[in-house]
Chains A and B, each alone.
Chain A
Amino acid sequence: MMGYENQGYEEAHLYTPKEQMSSIVLADDPSPPSNGSKSFNDDPLSSSSQFVDIPTDDTDPLRSPPSKKSLNPSNSSINSILEPPSYAEAVFRSFDLDSVDSADINGQDHSALASPSFSSTYLKISVSDPLREQELSGSLVPGGNSYISYLITTFTNMPEFNGTEFNVRRRFKDVVTLADRLAENYRGPDKSVVESQVMQTNEFVEQRRAALEKYLRRLASHPVIRGSEELRVFLEASGKMTLVRTTDVASRMLDGAVRLPKQLIGGNGGAADMGEVTQPAKGGRDLLRIFKELKQSVTNDWGGAKPPIVEDDKEFLERKEKLQDFEQQLVNVSQQAESLVKAQQDIGETMGQLGLAFVKLTKFETEEAIYDSQRARAADMKNVATAAVKASRLYRELNAQTVKHLDKLHEYLGVMLAVNNAFSDRSSAFLTVQTLLSDLSSLHSRIEKLEAASSKIFGGDRSRIRKIEELRETVRVTEDAKNSAVREYEQIKNPKNVNVEVFLDDDSDIDVDGSDGDETIDLENE
């Protein structure tokens, strides 16, 4: 694939400079090249008179002139045609979902691009004022370690933020943490820029500052990441950064493994923490909780026993399925669009190469001509060469347009990611509730059994009574946790539905601007 060029791709349609084109003289050139404007009045398609009127029947080309398709021999010398189309200048952006170029493009000229269709918010970040600070507690080396902190200034009108302007101090390490967290949950910009060695010289600091700023700006313009919780916390929370170091599996498992024995043995250690239940178990450190929910989900899928509550919102389930199907088709179309764009590019390139080969042939025949028949042939070849080179440029322009319009698909794919998260959040929350309810019911039945057993012993069984007390305490904690989880679930259940509605209706944006209407190859018009 063509390498991605670091210029705004909206400029691509302006690329084919008129100066180059005018050296190839055309007879009929009524209208200026379309600059991809979306108004239907002025696109080349609406004026059919400009089109080549090739007779569809086979007429003898030598008896009748070959039609209005302006094959007038150029008056300028051959050399003006010899200026080859430089394909390196074709702006072509990889359509690959896994590439991070989308963020690049968005990051370059944030204000010039149409922001995501359902919000007109801004998020401006700047990095400045590097200061040397001392690492405070817990340092082994006497005198402490010093590090550089940067002032991160944010202006925003996004609703997720509690305010419009924030100033926080962050160090490089914090950005690395942010990048790691984001990498786990989102597909985002390349974080290699923030993975560098430790050194402290003046110009290095400046380099870092610039790199940080660039990186944060990219985050700010990524359609999904800009609304993420992690970024918000990073930008907003003053004082020490509270983002947990990493959620990578290994470290989580290690942390969780430390707690697990206590959870299994001790009394309340096994109860899910009220604050924690508002987060899905999967990404957390509570191993026991992870296991329990896993067991619950297995029970749900395979077990004969009915889980305490069942996801009964049929509409939700339907919608979920519909959206999954939609996403699947969207991915499919996106892939086909990618290969379509590549095919268009290829045909344009080959057409150009063919043109060049004929240019060389023309030159050769002209130089070596002894007979008039050769000169006539050379003239024909020159015309073909001219047309082929021109057609090649048109293909390039066409492709730039196509890329621009089909890019909408890619945007939607980005949004689908957030939608999926929303759906899975809800499912996780629901699973948590189910698990807790199941916990509760088993706790209750254990209490009952113990009470029954202890009542048989005259005077009560002290150990059992103590056990019952512990269990009741656990029940209380678990009840709290359950209530918290249910609240969380309800909260997820409601507002998200509304968002889904809005999202689905917005599909009407796809294609309406005649995205594929620009696939025209017109030999006459530029």
Chain B
Amino acid sequence: MPQEIVNRISSLRMEGITKRFPGTLACDDISLSVGEGEILALVGENGAGKTTLMNILMGLYRPDEGRILINGSEVVFRSPNDAFAAGLGMVHQQYMLVANMTVLENIALGYKRAWSPLRVDLEMVRARIGEVADRYGLSVDPDAFVWQLSIGEQQRVELVKTLCLGARFLILDEPTSALTPQETDELIDLLKRMRSELSIIFISHKLHEVKNLSDRVVILRRGSVAFEGSTSEHSPGEIAALMTGREVVLPKNEAPCCEGCEALAIRGLKVRSDRGFLAVDGLDLSICSGEIVGLAGVSGNGQRELAEAINGLRSVEEGEILFFGRDIANLKPGEVIAEGMGYIPEERNTEGIVPPFSMKENFILKDSGDPHYASRSFLRLKEIDRNADRLREEFDIRSPDTRVAAGSLSGGNIQKVILARELSRAPRFLVAVYPTRGLDMGAAEFIHKRLLEKRAEGMGILLVSEELEEVLDLSDRIAVIFKGRIIDTLDRDSADSRKLGVLMAGVKESGDEAV
């Protein structure tokens, strides 16, 4: 395939890139360069401007200032088509796939060589997919609809798509933040294999991945380059410190397990998934006040359904959920909240906030009828403002003010809004589902500290997470969920990531001192 060979990109340079959005300076005079066959890690806190910078490189945004040079000569990308033609390709943070089209159609959408005015040559696209799949060992089912695929499979489709379009230079925007640990390992291996043929810009918050994979690292802080250097010369701790401008130490739960009363007792719980099968299938779990129980497991093993059932968002088929002695199974969400349950849901944008509502309105979503915030059907706006200012300050939420739409905040700040709302209501118990997914280390540290504080104050917490480190750092006990049941529960001291990994895969070792 001679026409396959897009001009080589022996060097790529972005120079003095500046981009403003209303009220925000997203990129402030950023310069960086990448050589052939190099893997550059781009790191920075949420909102540092990484995605914006890469969107500029792909021709999606026009920079207000600055220029892009490929092989030493300036290029201007007016649309992604120009960037594709130059051999660039990007896997976006939010996958850019049309859910109700097949994999084949999604790729055909960009594969212009298969287009004639009256027909798309899908067979040609299929052949091209086969070619790429063979070459990189990336198998995808061309006839599957995207909505049928798991997150990991969708990402593979994204990779195949960019490679099919002829990318010689790959941009990966937080590719691992939604993957399971196994999928992450596979991806890292794949990228290592690809480095002989491609240059890569890799964005991640997980610094061990950055260490493991990249040659050089560029750290962005609030829109400008804070540091640039070779990866091998710096430890993850140093990189984290440069990223946040201070030292980051993820806190650990080292306090002795306190003997609280039983706060939440789940017995024989059965809950159906959206697709109708029993996602939670006879689950037993008990959590005390002043205790954090980590629920480890590969996502999709019933975590979502369990959390929703506890919070009254999904009906319980069988079994009971005793909350301080009262069965709350099948109560309405409002009743569960009134019982003193706090909830950090998995989907922060769609379930945790009302995106177009202002930040201050989101703070009182659960209390809009409370006499503190409303009197005789009217909202007490001054009180709402006071509350919002206090929480914004206390939780260090970065935004111009408290009137901005919550949906316009960055992921880390949205999570802080949710955390602030839930914790400030002083619940008796908290269900936290993937509370730090996709967040940078600074934000994760903040959230971990808050959770440990609340534990010390006597709150019971169910922490659902895929991140073994997070679970190991914070939990008093760790329950591993597999196919809707607790396959084993370990004490903090007897757990390590190897044991958990084995359990998460559904294998229960005999002879272990399992509880």
Q: Do A and B bind each other?
A: no
Q: Which residues of B contact A (CB under 8 A)?
A: none
